[in-house]
Chains A and B, each alone.
Chain A
Amino acid sequence: MMVDVPVAEVAEVELYHAKSYWTKYVFSQDAKVIAIQYGGTAVAIGLVGLVLSWLMRLQLGFPDTFAFIDATDYYQFITVHGMIMVIYLLTALFLGGFGNYLIPLMVGARDMVFPYLNMVSYWVYLCAVLILVASFFVEGGPTGAGWTLYPPQSITEGTPGSEGGIILMLVSLALFIIGFTMGGLNYVVTVLQARTRGMTLMRLPLTVWGIFVATILALLAFPALFVGCIMMTLDKLLGTSFFMPEMISLGQQLEYDGGSPILFQHLFWFFGHPEVYIVALPAFGIVSDLLAVHARKNIFGYRMMVWAIVIIGALSFVVWAHHMYVSGMHPYFGFFFATTTLIIAVPTALKVYNWVLTLWHGDIHLTQPMLFSLAFLVTFINGGITGLFLGNVTVDVPLSDTMFVVAHFHMVMGIAPLMVVFGAIYHWYPKITGRMLHEGMGKFHFWVTFLGAYTIFLPLHYIGLQGVPRRYFEFGDTAFIPDSVTTLNAFVTVVTLTVGFAQIVFFYNMWRSYKHGKVAGDNPWGATTLEWQTAETPPGHGNFGEELPLVYRWAYDFSVPGAKNDFIPQNMPPGPDTNNH
C-alpha cells in the first residue's frame, strides 16, 4: 500500500547567497565551486608530481646522461613526488574534490552544513600547497628525506633540504591537516544530519559511504602525522630530542640525546596506513556506483559492501607496523601485524567478488567510466596480491626497500585509485559541465593509460625481485644487477614519458568538450542517484531548485522487471512506471 506523505516535511535550511563575483566564484561557500577549486588545485600540483616522476625516471633509465639531475635533486624529486601524489593530489581530490561535489547532491542537501568552514578549508589547503611549492625556492631546496621523512636523517645536515625545505614541508603538512579537518567535519556532519527525507543511511549510494568512512579515518589518522610533524619541527628548531638519538654527524657530536626514531615511525605509519584507505575507500565507493550504472545492474551485496567499507576502515588502524618489519621489532609484534594485515584481505576480497558478481549477467556498456572501472578492478587485484607477499614478515624482509615495494604500492594506491579518478571524471563531467567528453579521445586516453601503467609497473616488480633497492640515485657496476634491469629501466623511462605526455589528450578533451562537447542533458547515463535528478544541469546554487527531492528507494534500482525504464531514480515514487515497486 502506498503511503501518502506531504512534501513539506523536509525542513528547508537557510542558504548562503553570494552577492558578488568574488564571493560567488573565488571566496565561494558553495560546495560545488569549492569542489572544483579543490580538484583544480589538486590536479595542478599533481602535474608537478608527474613531472618530478619523469625527472627521476630519466635518471634511473639513463644514469650519467643528464647533467641537471644530481643526487641531491634526485632525492628531492622522489620525496616531493611521493608527498604530492599521496596527500596533496589523491587525498585532496577524493575528499575535497569529489566529496564536496557529490556529498550534498547525492544525499539531497542544498549544500554542506558549515559552508563558511568549507571555504576556509580550501584556502588553507591552497596555502599548504603553495608552501610546499615554495620549498623549491628556498636555500637548499625541498626536503630529500623520502616521503616518510624519517628522522634522524630528515633533519640532519647532509640530507637535501635539511635547512629550510624540511621545515616548509612540516608546516605545509600541518596546514594541510588543519584545512582537511575543517572540510572533514563538513563531510561527516552533512552525511549524518543533512540527508533529505527518505534518504536513510542504508539508502546512500556507496560513493557516499566510501567518502564518509574515509573522512572518519582521516579525521582520526591525520592527528598522528600532526603530532609527528610538531615534534620533529621542535627537534629541528628548538633542539629537543623527541626523535633524535645521540649521534655523530660529519665528525661532530650533535647536541641531541636519546630520542627515538622508531617513535616517529610508529606515529607516521599510524597515519600512513589508514592513509592508504583514505585514498582507497572513496575509490571503492565510486567504482561500485560506476559498475552498477554502466552494467545496468544493482550492486551485488549492497549491505556487505557497506559492512566491508566499515570493517576495512576499522582494521586499517591495527596494521600500521607492517610498514616497519625491518625496524628491529619483536618477532611476535611482527606476527601480530602480519595476521591483522592478512585479515584485512577478507573484506577487501569480498568487495572484489561483489564487483565481479555485479558484472555477471549485467548489460555491460563499455563506456569510458566502465573501462576505467574494469581497469581499476584488475589493477587492484594485482596490487592486492603483491600486498600478500609484503604483508608476510618472512617474505617482506628480503623484499623490503626494493623496487618490488615501489611496484606494489604504485599498483594498489597509485594506478588503481587513479583509474577511478579518471572513470569518475568521465562519469560526472557531463553533470559538472553539461557536456559529454569526446568518446574517441576518451578511448585513446584509456588504452594508453591502462596499458602504459602496466608497461611501466610490471617490469618494476621484476626489477625489485632482482634485489634492486629503491631510492638509489645510481647503481654503477653492481655485481648482482643483471643487464636486463638496465635495459628495462631505460624502457620504463621511455614509456613513462610517453604515457605522461599522452595525458595531454585528456586535458585537451576536457578543455574542448567544455565548449564543443555533445550536450549531455540531465541524466545521460540513466543513473538513479539524486545528482542526476537536478532541475538544471549543471546544478544551480542550492542544487535542487524549488523543492528538495524525496527519496523512495535505494540507489540501485536498475533493470527492475516490469518497470518502464531500465533504471528508477531514487526520487521516483512507486507507480505504474515502476511496476509499483
Chain B
Amino acid sequence: MGIFHHLTRKPWLPEQSEIDNQVSGGAVALQTAKVGLRVFLFPISALFTLFLIAYLMRMSFSDWQTLHDPWLLWINTAVLVLSSLALQRSRMLVDGGEVTGMRTYFMLGGVFAFAFLGGQLAAWQQLADMGVYADTNPSHSFFYLFTALHGLHLLGGLVAWGRTVFKIKAGVDVEHLRLSVELCTIYWHYLLVVWVVMFGLLLAT
C-alpha cells in the first residue's frame, strides 16, 4: 500500500502502538545503496525532463531550424544498447555466482560505454564539419547540450564502473560485487532510457 497507507495510521491509539512496536527495518525492502540510487534517479529525471520541456518551449519560436541528425547516432544508440545488455548479462551471471563470466561481460559493458562516448564525440565532429555549432541555432545548442549532459552522466557511471573493476581485480567477495554490478546495471538501463527518449525527440523534431 506504500506511503499513503502509513499516512492513515493513528499512532496515539494503544492498539496501533502494539503493531508499531514490532515494526523494524526500512520503508522499502531493498539494500540502502539501491534505495539511494533510486532516489538519486528522481532529481536526474527532473533535470532531463526540464531540459525537454525547455526544448519544446524554445522550439515554438520562429528562429528554430530543424537539425538533420547525424546518421552516426543510430550506431551510437546500438552501441549503448549493447552496453546495457552486456551489463544485464553480467548481473544475471553474478546472481548465479559465475564470477568469471560476469567479469567478461562487465568489462564489455564498460568498453561499449566508452565506445558510445567516442561515437558521440565523432557525431559532434560530423556536425561541426557541416557548420553546425553550439551557437548557430537553438536546435543545435540543445543538441550539444543534451548529448554533453547525457555523456557526463554516463561518465559518472563509468567512474562507478571503474571502481567496480578495481574491486573485481582486488578479488572482493561476490556478495559485495553483486551489489556494485546491480547498481551499475540499473544506472546504465536508466541512462539508456534517457538517451532513447532524447534521441526520439531529436528525430521527431
Q: CA separation between A231 and B135, bound complex, in Å?
A: 12
Which segment of A53-61, A142-150, A163-171, A190-198 sits at the interface?
Answer: A190-198
Q: Check A302 for interface membership: any CB of B closer than 8 A.
A: yes
Interface pair B26/A194, CB less than 8 Å apart: yes
Judging by beta carbons under 8 Å apart, are A192 and B27 in contact? yes
At the interface, yes or no: A40 with Cβ under 8 Å from chain B? Answer: no
A192 touches B26 (CB 8 A): yes
A83-108: which residues lie under 8 A (CB-CB) from chain B?
A: none
Q: Is the CB of B61 within 8 A of A260?
A: yes
**CB neighbors of B among A1-46 (8 A):** 3, 5, 9-11
A35 to B135, CA, bound (A): 43
Are B43 and A223 in touch, CB under 8 angstroms? yes
| A113 contacts the other chain (CB 8 A) | yes
Indicate if the CB atoms of A10 and B24 lie closer than 8 Å.
yes
Whether the Cβ atoms of A581 and B14 lie closer than 8 Å is yes
Known: A192-B28, A197-B24, A234-B134. A113 touches B36 (CB 8 A): yes
A188 touching B39, Cβ below 8 Å: yes
- Asked if residues A227 and B3 are in contact (CB atoms below 8 Å), the reply is no
Q: Is the C-beta of B130 less than 8 angstroms from some C-beta in chain A?
A: no
Which residues A221-255 have CB closer than 8 A to chain B?
221-224, 226-227, 230-231, 234, 238-242, 255
CB–CB B43/A202 < 8 A: no
- Residues of B within 8 Å of A259, CB to CB, are 58, 61, 138
B9 within 8 A of A: yes
Residue in B8, B44, B138 whose Cβ sees the most chain A Cβ within 10 Å: B138
The residues of A that contact B18 with a CB separation of less than 8 Å are: 3
Q: Is the CB of A219 within 8 A of B21?
A: no
Residues of A within 8 A of B7 (CB): 201-202, 303, 306-307, 310
B residues 121-139 near A (Cβ < 8 Å) are 134-135, 138
Give the secondary structure class of B's interface: helix
Contact B47 A263 (CB under 8 A): no
Q: Are A267 and B21 in contact (CB under 8 A)?
A: no
Q: Measured between alpha carbons, how far is A474 from B25 in the docked complex, in Å?
A: 60
Residues 342-382 of A contacting B (Cβ, < 8 Å): none
Chain B contacts with A in 1-43, Cβ cutoff 8 A = 3, 6-12, 14, 17-18, 20-28, 32, 35-36, 39-40, 42-43
Report Cα–Cα, A302/B27, bound state, in Å. Answer: 20
Stretch at the interface among B49-57, B67-75, B161-169: B49-57
Q: Is A552 an interface residue (CB 8 A)?
A: yes
Choose among A231, A306, A552 the residue that contacts B21 (Cβ–Cβ < 8 A): A552
Cα distance A576–B187 when bound, in Å?
A: 53
Q: Which residues of A lie under 8 Å from residue B149 when comparing CB positions?
A: 230
**CB-CB < 8 A to B61: which residues of A?**
258-260
Interface: B46 (CB within 8 A):
yes
A558 to B10, CA, bound (A): 17
Give the residue name and chain of the B residue nearest to A310 (CB): B7
Measured between beta carbons, the chain A residues less than 8 angstroms from B26 are: 192-195
| Among A240, A263, A266, A553, contact of B141 (Cβ-Cβ < 8 Å) | A240
A240 to B148 Cα, complex, angstroms: 15
Interface presence of A544 (CB below 8 A): no
Q: How far is the CA of A188 from the CA of B35 in the complex (A)?
A: 10
Known contacts A303-B10, A553-B17; is-contact A270 B43 (Cβ 8 Å): no
Chain B residue at smallest Cβ distance from A552: B21
Report if A220-B9 is in contact (Cβ < 8 Å); known contacts: A227-B54, A242-B54, A260-B58.
no
Contact of A554 among B11, B35, B43, B62 (CB under 8 A): B11
A551 CA to B17 CA, complexed, in Å: 10
Q: B145 near A: Cβ within 8 Å? A: yes
A to B contact number (C-beta, < 8 Å): 149
In the bound assembly, the distance between CA atoms of A227 and B22 in angstroms comes to 45
Q: B63–A257 contact, CB under 8 A?
A: yes
CA distance A263 to B32 in the complex (A): 38
Q: Please tell me if the beta carbons of A189 and B32 are within 8 angstroms of each other in the complex.
A: yes
Task: Let me know if B141 and A234 touch, CB within 8 A.
Answer: yes
Closest B residue, CB atoms, query A245: B61
Q: Is the CB of A223 within 8 A of B21?
A: no
Beta-carbon contacts of A199-233 to B below 8 Å, as 1s and 0s? 11111000000000000000111111011001100
Is there an interface contact between B36 and A270, defined as CB atoms closer than 8 Å? no
Residues of B within 8 A of A234 (CB): 134, 141, 145
Query: In the complex, which residues of chain B have a beta carbon less than 8 angstroms from the beta carbon of A200?
Result: 6, 9, 11, 20, 23
Please state if A226 and B27 are interface contacts (CB–CB under 8 Å).
Answer: no
Minimum Cβ distance to chain B for residue A548 (Å): 11
B145 CB to nearest A CB, Å: 7
Which chain A residues border B11 with CB–CB below 8 Å?
200, 202-203, 302, 553-554
Q: Does A181 contact B (CB under 8 A)?
A: yes
Contact with A along B51-92 (1 / 0, CB 8 A): 100100110011110000000000000000000000000000
- Known A-B contacts A181-B43, A553-B17; A201 and B141 likewise in contact (beta carbons under 8 Å): no
B40 proximity list for chain A (CB < 8 A): 181, 185
Q: List chain B residues, Cβ under 8 A from A184.
A: 43
Question: When the two chains form their complex, are residues A554 and B138 in contact, meaning their CB atoms are under 8 A apart?
Answer: no
- Asked if A556 is at the interface (CB within 8 A of a chain B CB), the reply is yes
Judge whether A409 is part of the interface by a CB distance below 8 angstroms: no
Residues of B within 8 A of A316 (CB): none
A193 and B28 contacting across the interface, CB-CB below 8 Å: yes
Report whether B35 and A220 are in contact in the complex, using a CB–CB cutoff of 8 Å: no
Give the docked Cα–Cα distance between A550 and B24 (Å). Answer: 10
Q: In whole Å, how far is A110's beta carbon from the nearest beta carbon of chain B?
A: 13
Q: Which residues of A contact B42 (CB under 8 A)?
A: 219-220
Closest to A255 in B: B135
CB pair B50 A198 closer than 8 Å: no
Contacts of B14 in A (CB 8 A): 581
Give Cα A219–Cα B40 distance, bound, in whole angstroms.
Answer: 9
Name which of B26, B54, B64 has the most chain A CB atoms within 10 A of its CB.
B54
Which residues from B are CB-within-8-Å of A263? 54, 57-58
Q: How far is the CB of B45 from chain A (nearest CB, A)?
A: 9
Give the distance to chain B from A229, nearest Cβ to Cβ, in Å: 11
Closest to A226 in B: B47
Out of B35, B54, B141, name the residue touching A241 (CB < 8 Å): B141
13 further contact pairs, Cβ within 8 A, besides A5-B21, A192-B27, A238-B134:
A185-B39, A192-B35, A194-B26, A200-B11, A201-B3, A201-B7, A202-B10, A220-B46, A223-B43, A224-B50, A227-B54, A238-B135, A263-B58
A-B contact pairs, 23 of them (CB 8 A): A185-B40, A189-B32, A193-B28, A194-B26, A197-B24, A198-B20, A198-B21, A198-B22, A202-B11, A219-B42, A220-B42, A221-B46, A222-B43, A238-B141, A239-B135, A240-B135, A241-B141, A242-B58, A267-B50, A267-B54, A270-B50, A574-B17, A581-B14
Contact surface of B with A, Cβ cutoff 8 Å: 3, 6-12, 14, 17-18, 20-28, 32, 35-36, 39-40, 42-44, 46-47, 50-51, 54, 57-58, 61-64, 134-135, 138, 141, 145, 149
- The 10 A-B residue pairs with the shortest CB-CB distance, nearest first, are A193-B26, A258-B63, A223-B47, A240-B141, A197-B24, A554-B11, A223-B46, A239-B135, A202-B9, A192-B27
